[in-house]
Amino acid sequence: MKKTRSKTKTSGGIPFSPEQIHAFRLRRHHLLDRSAKDLVTICRDVCGVQAQIMSAAQLQLWARNHAITPEMVNDALWKTRSLVKTSLMRQTLHLVPADEFPLYIAAHRSARAKAVLSIMARCKITREEADALSALILEELKTGPAPRAAITAAVRPKVSKRLRVWMDKVWSIVRLPVIEGLVCYGPGEGNQATFIRTEHWLPAQSRVDEAKVDAVQAQKELLCKYLRAYGPATLKDFAHWSLISMAEVKALRPLVDEQVADYDGVLVLREDVKALQSASFSQSSVHLLPYFDVYLLAHRFKEHFLKPQFYKRVYRNQGWISPVVLIDGQIAGVWNYKLSRKALEIDIELFARVDSRTRKQIKDRAAELADLFQCPLAFSVKN
């Protein structure tokens, strides 16, 4: 299958084995080290946690430290505000440390704004009109957070016919101020998301208007952060993960020459070479990763941890990413769960047979998840 062909070489071109690479990445994701890092540190180290589904984001953090509860994640977002929820990599929602918010915005702003303005231009909307729309949105948020529908309803009578046509075609009119870092996700009622002005929500050092981070410097720093979490990787991997244009990504390569070792196009931070060469598994590593786990989303091709015949079982239609059974860094199956009044029902489907010890470890991980939900476990597994 063409889309699963690997471009991240693991033999011949680089001095690291597949096992060393898996062990290195798992450790950087706090899936191997059991170091009990706090949730902000984990978000920092994995370059943000995907949050299209909030419960999946909470489980991603719990998978890396079982002391982290959903309530703690919510408190970090809406009380201490040490995390920010906004649209970033691949135009998907992520949780990132508040103090890194300006870096992520600066790194992504150019490519993402260009894409939105290009679509608006097809409706003959000028940049000046787009900026005026952003100003109207900010005015509507002057008194506090508001849901998307309320913002749209308030702004619609004040814009041109061209803008109203565009508004009818797009899912969110708030996208441009979000890209600019002027707006982020705010506290909501139930499942209704709200937006809030970052100047009202974040401390000064976490706001784009105060930090004034240079775009190229931000992209350079983000590339190094990415390699620290997901290396070895190629520039195409980074472009795929970030959705920063390939032209911008290629321009970064000479700027990181001192920090990066290049093995025929496969990049590793020089400071990580020894860590990669010494990486190993002291014991078998088994994890149940939830929907959209960031460990699964960082590389353009997937065969370094997934056999091609199972690709569609994990990477499904419309960008849906299945929960997976991860054994020593490789995807060994998929799973799902259902919470009922009586039990947490977890169904495991393995792609191949495993030994009894590994099967017990899988059940142990399921039992840990049942403990999180504070209910009995109903467990089934099949090959």
232-243 average pLDDT score: 98
How many folded domains does the chain comprise?
2
Check whether 2 has a pLDDT greater than 90. Answer: no
pLDDT in tens, 307-339: 999 999 999 998 899 999 999 999 999 999 999
Determine the pLDDT at residue 189.
Answer: 60
- Residue 3 is predicted with a pLDDT of 38
pLDDT surpasses 60 at 1 = no
Per-residue three-class SS string for 344-356? EEEEEEECCCCCH
pLDDT tens track for 69-112: 999 999 999 999 999 999 999 999 999 999 999 999 999 999 99
**Tens digit of each residue's pLDDT (9 = 90 or more) over 118-127:** 999 999 999 9
Same domain, 253 and 367: no
Residue 229 belongs to a domain: yes
Whether 108 and 223 map to the same domain: the answer is yes
Query: Do residues 158 and 243 both lie within one domain?
Result: yes
Q: Are residues 204 and 315 in the same domain?
A: no
| Average pLDDT value over all residues in the chain | 93
Q: Within its chain, how far is the Cα of 223 from the centroid?
A: 14
| Total number of residues shown for the chain | 383
pTM: 0.93
pLDDT class of 34 with cuts at 50, 70, 90: low
- 324 plus 261 within the same structural domain: no
**CB neighbours of 225 closer than 8 A, spacing ≥ 6?**
47
Q: What distance lies between CA 251 and its chain's CA centroid?
A: 24
Domain match, 211 and 97 both: yes
With tokens 């401390």, the residue in question is 203
What is residue 9's predicted lDDT score, i.e. its pLDDT?
Answer: 42
Domain residues for the domain of 347 are: 306-382
Residue 289 falls within a domain, yes or no? no
Residues 54 and 177 in one domain: yes
Could you tell me if 367 and 242 lie in one domain? Answer: no
151 found inside a domain = yes
Residues 6+ away with beta carbon under 8 Å from 247: none
Mean local confidence (pLDDT), 168-187: 94
- Residue 300 in domain: no
Residue 292 within a domain: no
101 lies in the same domain as 217:
yes
pLDDT on residue 11: 43
Each residue's pLDDT tens digit, 341-377: 899 999 999 999 999 999 999 999 999 999 999 999 9
Is 6's pLDDT higher than 50? no
Is the pLDDT reported for residue 12 higher than 60? no
Q: Is residue 296 part of a domain?
A: no
Query: Residue 13 above 80 pLDDT?
Result: no
**Residues with Cβ within 8 Å of residue 274, at least 6 apart in sequence:** none
pLDDT number for residue 5: 39
> Which residue, of 283, 315, 339, is where some domain finishes?
283
Determine the distance from the C-alpha atom of residue 67 to the mean position of all C-alpha atoms in its chain, rounded to a whole number. Answer: 21
Average pLDDT over residues 241-268: 97
| Of 4 and 173, the one with more pLDDT | 173
**If phi over 0 gives left and psi between -120 and 50 gives alpha, with beta otherwise, what is residue 374?**
left
Query: Are 311 and 273 part of one and the same domain?
Result: no
Q: Is residue 228, in this structure, part of any structural domain at all?
A: yes
Residue 175 pLDDT more than 60? yes
The answer as to whether 2 is a domain residue is no
330 and 260 within one domain: no
The mean pLDDT value for 271-285 works out to 95
Q: Angle at CA 282, nearest 5°, toward 354 and 62? A: 75
* Sequence-separated (6 or more) residues with CB below 8 Å from residue 216: 251, 252, 255
Shared domain for 96 and 158, answered yes or no, is yes
Q: Among residues 248, 283, 318, which one ends one of the domains?
A: 283
pLDDT in tens, 132-168: 999 999 999 999 999 999 999 999 999 999 999 999 9
